[in-house]
Amino acid sequence: MPDAILAAMAVGSREDQNTVTAEQVAGVVAGIPAIGEACDALRKAGWRAGIAGNRITVNDEVFAQFIGATVSAPGGDNARWVIYRIAGAPPVWVVRAEPQL
């Protein structure tokens, strides 16, 4: 292989290592029922995170949207995080916002 191709492959693999995935974000926010706490947890994981409304933007690559519990929900245990890449690439992750007891 030409050296230019090998160099491009090396750069691409380094970028992939630094790219945050929806799955990684889902693993951090799962079980966190407050958007501020989730944002802090994402920052502690080493990513840039900012809140706008009910959504956290992570590294300008992933959205984590908080869907709160509804008043009519029996047991009030239906708050969720919906996590997806900004570019719209699948998969979309849905995780519980309430901690497991």
Backbone angles phi, psi at 55, to 5 degrees: -130, 140
Closest by CA position to 83, among listed 64, 57, 60? 64
Beta bridge partners of 96: 80
pTM of the entire predicted model = 0.75
**pLDDT per residue of the chain (101 residues) written in tens, 0 to 9:** 344 333 333 444 444 567 899 999 999 999 999 999 999 999 999 999 999 999 999 999 999 999 987 665 555 567 899 999 998 888 888 888 877 66
